[in-house]
Amino acid sequence: MDALTRSQLIKRLATQAGFERCGIAPAAPIARANYLENWLAAGRAGTMDYMSRYTEMRINPAEILEGAQSVIVVSLSYNQTSPTMPPNDSNPSPQGRIAKYAWGDDYHDVLKKKLFAIADELRATLEESFETKVCVDTAPLIERELAAAAGIGWIGKNTLVLNQAQGSFFFLGAIVTTLELAPDEPVSDHCGSCTACLDACPTDAFPAAYEMDASRCISYLTIEHRSDISEELAKQMGDWLFGCDVCQDVCPFNRNVPVTKEPRFQPRPLAPSVDVGEVLEWSVEDYRKHLRGSAIKRAKLDMLQRNATIVRENAQNYRD
């Protein structure tokens, strides 16, 4: 089978697995390799020390698998409409918002299962031997650069990958492989003169378009940062308990896009928000019980309770 026929087969398998898009990028150094170095040197990663490890793999996916030739990149929508919350006037405790990506089951499990199934199917179909490495989020790859190279979408001014059919509420996943495949072309940038995401960010986390200071981002503060949050940033967190969707909610490309077809991304009971008073009462057992199989577990109990205290204080200050 030639490279083009193999690529067509992979795209059929990706569609069957439920991915909305699948594209191929060459396993070659990414377009803006020096950006990561400058980003780290400027302290943009905050306390995410893992971002400064395995730099050679992040800037060149071929380093992650010996003999790698291609990267298969997929996207899976997690877009949802907000489930209706029953009114509860008797309870004065404020609600802390959960970012949409964490409303359903943990995406790492969902995407990995589908990608391993594609790799198995390929092994059963192709005669030649080849290696694969499945990567979802946690591997040292800059997935957005690879997604852009594979034509999944363009990198927007808010640094997320988006496209006209899906907007940006989707996850990325990748299979690095030794197979030779026919690469796709990048798509062009349609952000134009829009600056809605840059203007709306509550913490001014964009020093410039296409550039994020993660150390100011609410997603980083609530999920990745383990110690205290400065008073200045805490005040700007508003009612976000876990993650933040503001720079996506305002994006014109996220209006009227289809909701996810993935059953495992249907909202769990803690979506779209949770009573912060309850979170502050959680024991370790409650935390485990409520968050089994959820991406919210990325934040430890003490971090969620720190966030809950901030949301409660912000609600109090808003009322005063």
Does residue 181 belong to the site contacting ligand B12 (CB under 6 A)?
no
Does residue 143 belong to the site contacting ligand B12 (CB under 6 A)?
yes
Applying CB under 6 A, which of residues 11, 44, 97, 157 lies at the interface with ligand SF4? Answer: 157
Beta carbons within 8 Å of 210's beta carbon, 6+ residues apart: 155, 156, 157, 159
Query: Per-residue b/e over 8-28, b at no fewer than 16 CB within 10 Å?
Result: ebbbebbeebbbbbbbbbbbe
Does residue 310 belong to the site contacting ligand SF4 (CB under 6 A)?
no
- Strands 170-177 and 132-135, by their bridges, are antiparallel
Does residue 159 belong to the site contacting ligand B12 (CB under 6 A)?
yes
Does residue 144 belong to the site contacting ligand B12 (CB under 6 A)?
yes
Question: For 49, phi and psi rounded to 5 degrees?
Answer: -60, -30
For ligand B12, the binding residues in 42-71 under the rule CB under 6 A are: 48
Does residue 155 belong to the site contacting ligand B12 (CB under 6 A)?
yes
Contact predicate 23/152, CB 8 Å: yes
Applying CB under 6 A, which of residues 8, 18, 137, 200 lies at the interface with ligand B12? Answer: 137
Question: Does the active-site annotation cover 213?
Answer: no
Largest Cα–Cα distance of the chain, in whole Å? 70
Looking at the Cβ atoms of 234 and 247, the one nearer to ligand SF4 is 247
Catalytic residue chosen out of the listed positions 109, 137, 199, 320: 137
d(CA 245, CA 242): 10
* Structure tokens given for 99: 């970012």
d(CA 249, CA 199): 12
Does residue 147 belong to the site contacting ligand SF4 (CB under 6 A)?
no
For ligand SF4, the binding residues in 254-273 under the rule CB under 6 A are: none
Looking at the Cβ atoms of 9 and 48, the one nearer to ligand B12 is 48
Applying CB under 6 A, which of residues 141, 150, 175, 179 lies at the interface with ligand B12? Answer: 141
Looking at the Cβ atoms of 6 and 17, the one nearer to ligand B12 is 17
Residue 315 CA, distance from chain mean position: 27
Residues that bind ligand SF4 (CB under 6 A): 156-158, 162, 191, 194-197, 201-203, 205, 212, 217-219, 244, 246-247, 250-253
